[in-house]
Amino acid sequence: MTLKIHQDHSRFKQIVRGKIKANLRKYVQKGEMIGKKGKDAISIPIPFIDIPRFKYGHKEQGGVGQGDGEVGQQLGPGAVEPGEGKQAGQGEGDHALEVDVTLDELAQILGEELQLPNIERRQNERIITQKIRYTGVNTTGPESLRHFKRTFKQALRRQIAAGTYDPARPVIIPTREDRRYRSYKLQDLPETNAVIIYMMDVSGSMGDEQKEIVRIESFWLDTWLRHQYKGLEARYIIHDAVAREVDRDTFFHTRESGGTMISSAYKLCRDIILADYPKSAWNIYPFHFSDGDNWSADDTRQCIDMLRSDVLPNVNQFAYGQVESPYGSGQFIKDLREAVGDTPNVALSEIADKDAIYASIKDFLGKGR
Amino acid sequence: MPKSLTPRLAALRDEIHGYAKEFGLDFFDTRFEMVSYDEMNMVAAYGGFPTRYPHWRWGMEYEQLAKGYEYGLSKIYELVINNDPCYAYLMESNPEVDQKLVMAHVYGHCDFFKNNFSFRHTNRRMIDEMANHATRVRRWVDKIGVEKVEDFIDRTLSLENLIDQHAPHIRRNPDPKKAEDELKANERVEGFKVGREYMRGYINPSEFLDSQRKKVEDEKQRAKQFPERPQRDVLLFLLEEAPLEPWEADILAILRDEAHYFAPQGQTKIMNEGWASYWHSTIMTRRALKDDEIIDYADHHSGTMGTRPGAINPYKLGIELWRDIEERWNKGRFGKEWDECDDLRARRSWDKKLGAGREKIFEVRKHYNDITFIDTFLTPEFAMEQKLFVYGFNDKRNSWEILDREFKKVKNKLLQGLTNFGQPIIEVVDGNFENRSELLLAHRHDGQDLKGDYARETLRNLQSLWRRPVNILTRYDNKGAMLRFDGQTHSERKVEL
């Protein structure tokens, strides 16, 4: 059944998406959602378009409340509505209500907003773990798996049938034939493992703002991939002229200086893949962020060779995001585009500023790989 | 689509209807319809009506309601339209006891709509009117294009609160023709007719003639001004004076009409919800409840009455005030003798057995609105009992906190929040400002500043209707300020008050 209001509703959604796409982008910008990641629950406001009016600032206004409490006592968080005073007659809340959503729901919303395709898993059937499941009962088995209750019942049944059961003195003695044992089956469980390998250029030209962009973007990539894969691992590599693996915190907060040799990162990435993540068992997603100012054409050539021979054949998708820095945007993305741009599992994106994150997420995740 | 009641529910309705009549409620014919939850959300998003003109904001409301419902945060119990006949909606999935509660509640609202003076001038065929509005807007959409029309509605909504909520009751502008005649007649000040010439100095002393002349001068001066007096109904002023296309004028008129229709509901929220709650409570507990329904009823009733520290629940405040009034008039706790009694013990056991409570509340529901209701009947005892307080924002601690529990401050704050719906009062002062056909508005400052960014955006929308530069005179930090938007840029300058 369609309701009349669905027209207005879809129009509203179109506005939120098309005209501004504002809400999502605005939150991405402020990075609000990362801070609250704590318990897996995040509150995102439902999109709301606030038409400007002549009105009072809410904070100045204050109001009358009801309840216990001493003068000077704080009202709990959320006690006062974030929205401004209610509108005449239109009683039903003129305010944005905040709804707690889980990361999973957030990913769904992201997927819906960006119209992201679900990822086609690469090695679904091949990745298998075996799991023991106790599914039945048998007359033979090891004593350690004896099913006490069933054994007892069996013995009781036999004794009653044989007429040896005395309710006044209810002693049950199981014989060898009464014994019952749990039996198990080995079950094949397909398991999908995925790993994200984040690489970031931390050379002198990558400033705080660039890192902020990477941080926000990786949050969304993380959220989406976690939604798609149950067991998601993440590895972090930073590099300037040399690369090293670090933990998450270091990844986002290190500032090195000096030159940029991207090949160092790719080499480390390749080594990590070869050592820990066999292609047959893992879905692999390397993401590399840099300002694109590589040291030399020679090094770039090395990178491309390495991608072609060792990285691309092993991964689901290789993604490179070039963040524009105060010193401009480098050559690297162009080189990549020329060399491997046509390869289906390569995603390239240029991120000019925070506003471009939105489009860039789509570049990275829009392929459904 | 909406269905009529099942036989079982129809029987319940007849039962509740009987109780409502028995208690003396007086309402229009009331029609109940059954809707599913998403239909309920739709109708609620439309402000209670089955059809509205096409606009995204209904979609926005709908999204909020639908999500609220899906996440289990909120649920609309009752929806009723001020119309003759009254229409009310019942949600299909509600249990029977809820339906009874809602019916009783609805009869309370209908009685209020019919009898309270604030609603006397509302259109009682608003369902039809809203449908007509929808058709008119749709027709313009077909002709002009959806983008243009919607854009115009958006801009007008920005000004929607600039109406005169008392307009339906008063003729502000005197009949222009009559005023003109009067003016002409008074143009030459000759004083009273004098029969004997020597009496002239006594009958028309020169001071008197001077004052009469001044009066005429003032009138003339005023006639040159435009509008003659500051005008609260900014939408009306725009409608009459702004250079609007016919389609724009038509849509503006529609929006103004609808805003005026909804205004009384905003003016009587506390009374109206309180009244309906008083009656659902009375009807349910005295008559309609079955033993096995008590727990569910109590649960839902208390859910509706729940309070939280940072807001007034109109249902709760309303029902308690109605009950307080009833008790006071039952026990004779009013008048000189009561007011002058300082003996706390005597006051506590005061009971003159007047039994006039019921009669009193029926009278009050006729002649008051929220402001006069609170102003007249909120007592210090009541405020204390209900634990009312004033809260405000503490910048240093960056949090909301309880500021005061003193009765006067609580009452003032409450009234302030109700005056003009807690919105700033803004008037058109001059439609030919600086003799350049600019528009000048004035904000009647009452101690609270306007939200600056909102004010500027609103000016921008206003300018797009007026087409010439627009100005608003207000105050920031106790200094006069003139905000201006000339179509290109915003500016602000200081003004001596």
Amino acid at A344: P
Q: Is B51 on the interface with A (CB under 8 A)?
A: yes
What pLDDT score was predicted for residue B56?
A: 86
What pLDDT score was predicted for residue A191?
A: 64
Q: Is B479 on the interface with A (CB under 8 A)?
A: no
User: Does B310 contact A65 at a Cβ distance shorter than 8 Å?
Assistant: yes
Which residues in chain B touch residue A81, judged by CB atoms under 8 angstroms apart?
Answer: 310-311
The closest CB to that of B67, out of A46, A63, A88, belongs to A46
The closest CB to that of A88, out of B389, B421, B472, belongs to B421
Q: Phi/psi at B8 (nearest 5 deg)?
A: -60, -50
Chain B nearest C-alpha distance from A190 (Å): 33
Q: Is B384 on the interface with A (CB under 8 A)?
A: no
Residue B474's pLDDT band (cuts 50, 70, 90): very high
Considering only alpha carbons, which residue of chain A is nearest residue B39?
A3
User: Does B443 contact A68 at a Cβ distance shorter than 8 Å?
Assistant: no
Q: What is the mean pLDDT of chain B?
A: 89
User: Does B389 contact A64 at a Cβ distance shorter than 8 Å?
Assistant: yes
Structure tokens at B269: 């929220």
Beta bridge partners of B490: B485
User: Does B451 contact A87 at a Cβ distance shorter than 8 Å?
Assistant: no
Residue B208 exposure: Cα atoms within 13 Å on the Cβ side: 9
What pLDDT score was predicted for residue A192?
A: 66
What pLDDT score was predicted for residue B73?
A: 58
Quick one: B490 exposed, middle or buried, by C-beta within 10 A (0-12, 13-18, 19+)? middle
How many other CB atoms are there within 10 angstroms of residue B175's CB atom? Answer: 10
Q: Is B419 on the interface with A (CB under 8 A)?
A: no
Q: Which of B37, B73, B451, B485 to mutate to test the interface with A (most CBs of A within 10 A)?
A: B451
| Strand ranges across the sheet with B438-443 | B426-433, B438-443, B470-476, B479-485, B490-495
Q: Which of B55, B62, B64 to mutate to test the interface with A (most CBs of A within 10 A)?
A: B64
Q: Is B161 on the interface with A (CB under 8 A)?
A: yes
Q: Which of A1, A50, A66 to mutate to test the interface with B (most CBs of B within 10 A)?
A: A66
The closest CB to that of A79, out of B71, B310, B413, belongs to B310
Taking chain A, what is the end-to-end CA distance rounded to the nearest angstrom?
Answer: 35
User: Does B54 contact A3 at a Cβ distance shorter than 8 Å?
Assistant: no
What b/e string do you get for B218-252 counting C-beta neighbours within 10 Å, with b at 16 or more? Answer: eeeeeeeebbbeebbbbbbbbbebbebeebbebbb
Residue B489's pLDDT band (cuts 50, 70, 90): very high
User: Does A5 contact B46 at a Cβ distance shorter than 8 Å?
Assistant: yes
The closest CB to that of B414, out of A12, A64, A68, belongs to A64
Which residues in chain A touch residue B402, judged by CB atoms under 8 angstroms apart?
Answer: 65, 69-73, 75
- Predicted confidence (pLDDT) at residue B196 exceeds the cutoff of 90: no
| DSSP labels, A44-76 | EEPP------S-B-HHHH-EEEES---TTPBPP
Interface A-B, measured as beta-carbon pairs within 8 A, has a size of 235
Q: Cα separation of A67 and B311, whole Å? A: 10
Q: Cα separation of B191 and A99, whole Å? A: 74
The closest CB to that of A9, out of B62, B73, B421, belongs to B62
Q: Cα separation of A153 and B6, whole Å? A: 54
A141 within 8 A of A121, measured Cβ to Cβ: no
| DSSP labels, B357-394 | HHHHHHHHHHH--HHHHHHHH--HHHHHHTTEEEEEEE
Which residues in chain B touch residue A84, judged by CB atoms under 8 angstroms apart?
Answer: 451
User: Does B309 contact A65 at a Cβ distance shorter than 8 Å?
Assistant: yes
The closest CB to that of B424, out of A46, A55, A73, belongs to A55
So where are chain B's domains? 7-116+268-296, 127-170+231-266, 173-187+202-228, 308-419, 424-495
Closest CA to A84 of B263, B161, B389, B75: B161
- Predicted confidence (pLDDT) at residue B169 exceeds the cutoff of 80: no
Q: What is the pTM of this model?
A: 0.67
Q: B68-77, B257-266, B270-279 — which is least confidently predicted?
A: B68-77
Considering only alpha carbons, which residue of chain A is nearest residue B44?
A92
Dmax (CA) for chain B in angstroms is: 94
User: What domains can you pick out in chain A, each with its CATH number?
Assistant: 128-188 (no CATH), 191-365 (3.40.50.410)
Which residues in chain A touch residue B49, judged by CB atoms under 8 angstroms apart?
Answer: none
Q: Is B45 on the interface with A (CB under 8 A)?
A: yes
Q: Cα separation of B332 and B319, whole Å? A: 20
Which residues in chain A touch residue B472, judged by CB atoms under 8 angstroms apart?
Answer: 54
Taking only residues 78 to 117 of chain B, the set having a beta carbon closer than 8 angstroms to any beta carbon of chain A reads none
Q: Which of B70, B308, B399 to mutate to test the interface with A (most CBs of A within 10 A)?
A: B308
Which residues in chain B touch residue A74, judged by CB atoms under 8 angstroms apart?
Answer: 394, 397, 399-401
Chain A nearest C-alpha distance from B152 (Å): 13
If you average pLDDT over residues B402-418, what whole number do you get? Answer: 91
Q: Is B402 on the interface with A (CB under 8 A)?
A: yes
ipTM of the complex: 0.82
The closest CB to that of A55, out of B55, B389, B451, belongs to B451
Which residues in chain B touch residue A53, judged by CB atoms under 8 angstroms apart?
Answer: 158-161, 423, 454, 458
Considering only alpha carbons, which residue of chain A is nearest residue B50?
A4
- Predicted confidence (pLDDT) at residue B452 exceeds the cutoff of 70: yes
What pLDDT score was predicted for residue A365?
A: 82
User: Does A80 contact B269 at a Cβ distance shorter than 8 Å?
Assistant: no
Give the dihedral of Cα atoms B2, A92, B369, B305; nearest 10 deg: 100
Structure tokens at B191: 């004083």
The closest CB to that of B62, out of A5, A89, A97, belongs to A5
Peptide bond into B227 cis (omega under 30): yes
If you average pLDDT over residues B336-352, what whole number do you get? Answer: 89
Q: Cα separation of B76 and B84, whole Å? A: 23
Q: A31-40, A62-71, B346-355, B367-376 — which is least confidently predicted?
A: A31-40
Q: Cα separation of A270 and A248, whole Å? A: 19
Chain B nearest C-alpha distance from A36 (Å): 19
The closest CB to that of A67, out of B45, B307, B401, belongs to B307
How many other CB atoms are there within 10 angstroms of residue B290's CB atom? Answer: 10
Regions in chain A scoring below 50 on pLDDT: 1, 19-44, 82-99, 125
- Predicted confidence (pLDDT) at residue B183 exceeds the cutoff of 70: no
The closest CB to that of A61, out of B404, B448, B454, belongs to B448
Percent of chain B as helix, strand, coil, to the nearest 5 = 55, 15, 30
User: Does A8 contact B392 at a Cβ distance shorter than 8 Å?
Assistant: no
The closest CB to that of B73, out of A76, A79, A97, belongs to A97
The closest CB to that of A8, out of B62, B269, B451, belongs to B62
Q: Cα separation of B386 and B414, whole Å? A: 14
B470 within 8 A of B167, measured Cβ to Cβ: no
Number of H helices, E strands in chain A: 12, 11
